[in-house]
Chains A and B, each alone.
Chain A
Amino acid sequence: MVRFDNVGLRYSHAGDAGPEVLHDLSFSIQAGGFRWLLGPSGAGKSSLLKLMYLAIRPSRGRLSILGTEIGAAGRRALALLRRRTGVVFQDFRLLEHLSAFDNVALPLRLAGRPEGQIRADTTEMLRWVGLAQKLEQQPAELSGGEQQRIAIARAVIARPALLLADEPTGNLDDTQAARLMQLLHELNRLGTTVVVATHNDALVRRHPAASLVLEHGRLVGEH
């Protein structure tokens, strides 16, 4: 589960603390919960996601991810926690020098899974996202939609306990977007906690669920 308790965040540049971008966030998501993360651009959705995928630590308040208190966790504990968190980035963040297969297999390799299992799981996952014919292609050789599907495959391959997605349907056509939502619901049904940040109101209307609404770095609605 995820718990925010009076969390504030300010970025610091070269040791100088900048203005606070997230203020007094308090909410919790039960294990196996689903949340839309909504709000206008610049409201702090990406910063909130960054806190959840442990790319930054909160400046104040208490943050607990999957039962681990972040303030007290060591570097190794955070690394292991990141392995239990899948993230679909808006800009995909694929490794350009690796093939589609190796990009998707990376979380399994970091977790030290046996190579035979890695091969089977990765091939199956890439087939599921419709890229079975492009295993050996590098990201630069793929379209935006295909890259996004690789990013999604990489985020879910290790069956994460927490799945975070930032505008995951941005580069997908309607069919692919529907398939993605089906995948997210399926994972959610199997117990994965899912948080999806989006601007796509139609998508939210089609898949009604609880949501967190941010504005100017504050939580203005939770329903």
Chain B
Amino acid sequence: MWPRGRPRGTARLLRPAGFDGLGLRRALAGRMLPFLVAAMAFLAALAVGGTIGATALARHWRVGPAAVLTVQVPRPDAPAEDAPESRRDRVAALLRATPGIALVRPLPDEELTELLRPWLGASAGEMSLPLPGVMEIRLAEGGAVPEGLARRLGAAAPGTLVESHLPWLRRLSALARSLQVSALAVLLLVIAVAAAVIAVATRAGLAARREAIEIVHGLGATDGYIAGRFAARIMRLAALGGFSGAVVALPVLAGLAWLAAPFIRPDTDLAREIGVFAALPMPFWLLLPGLPAAVAIIGWLTAQTTVRRWLRQLP
């Protein structure tokens, strides 16, 4: 009973799953929208990466292992002015007795030699240079450099230097926070632009298929049905774009994370020890698969809203 030469006919009649009643496959063409969404997703991935990176940096600088104060005691083994012990021990004792100081760590000579090696070479320890005693000081949470500390230490061991990193850390922390806020603002902006692009594409599709929509509406299609067809199509295209954007962003972000790793975890030489992709922080791996999903949801919601609003002009 089927016309000859059209064997696909039977198969098509049996397969209504992808039934394109509104002809959206032509109206919402499959190239421009995914490309634009992919570009948005790429930017969003960079913004997410930036947010995560800035958060890590901010946390690191706030509670990181770096000393907040460095105290240098020249001639550390000479006796102190006001006590029988060595200048190094006297200064350490004074520091430990000072309220607001959480940790005092005198650097062992080997560590100091190690620090100086880039400048003095491997034999720094063997050269009989008068090395100062160096101590790392960490302040209690939210603490400030105690009043008159340098003066008191100087009285016990003249020539002692107190170097505070606090102003620098504050500035870096503020910078990290600004980066965080900017990255978040970029993310919101990208979401808004993506929604606008999807709304424009949906409206173009509505205009192109106006007659078909009117016919289907006249046959009793509900607003939900028509909006659903549009939203399903847009969601597929957006997810495709989101996935492509995420895939393209991955190596770029991995490279950036690899370059930034030494600043976040200076204790390990990540650049050498681990692969490029392992440098990406865990939160990023958790968020990345969410990107196409988030884009798909934004696409679905935008299309639903746009179509339902447009349909209000029909009775």
Contacts and interface: CB of A to CB of B under 8 A. Distances in A.
Contacts of B16: 109, 115, 118
Contacts of B223: 75-76, 79
Interface in A51-91: 53-57, 75-76, 78-85, 87
Interface of B: 1-3, 6, 9, 12-14, 16, 19-21, 23, 26, 212, 215-223, 225, 315
Given A79-B222, A106-B21, A110-B221, A95 B315 contact: no
A157 to B, nearest CB: 10
A207 interface: no
Contacts, number: 78
Residue among A81, A95, A107 with most chain B CB within 10 A? A95
A133 B1 CA distance: 7
Interface of A: 53-57, 75-76, 78-85, 87, 93-99, 101-102, 106-107, 109-111, 115, 118-119, 132-136, 154
Contact of A82 (B20, B26, B212, B220): B220
Contact of B218 (A53, A80, A96): A53
A82 B21 contact: no
A87 B3 contact: no
A119 B6 CA distance: 17
A135 B216 contact: no
A135 B221 contact: no
Given A54-B315, A56-B315, A80-B220, A132 B21 contact: no
A110 B221 CA distance: 6
A138 to B, nearest CB: 11
B13 A101 contact: yes
Contacts of B212: 95, 97
A79 B221 contact: yes
A87 B220 CA distance: 11
B12 to A, nearest CB: 8
13 contacts: A53-B218, A54-B315, A78-B315, A79-B217, A79-B222, A93-B218, A95-B215, A101-B13, A109-B16, A110-B225, A135-B2, A135-B3, A154-B219
Nearest to A93: B215
B3 A110 contact: no
Nearest to A92: B215
A154 B219 CA distance: 9
B219 A97 contact: no
A55 B218 contact: yes
B218 A95 contact: no
Given A133-B3, A135-B2, A82 B219 contact: yes
Nearest to A56: B315
Contacts of A76: 222-223
Nearest to A119: B13
B23 A136 contact: no
Contacts of A83: 219-220
Contact of B21 (A80, A109, A119): A109
B220 A107 contact: yes
Contact of B219 (A75, A110, A135, A136): A110
Nearest to A111: B220
A94 B211 CA distance: 10
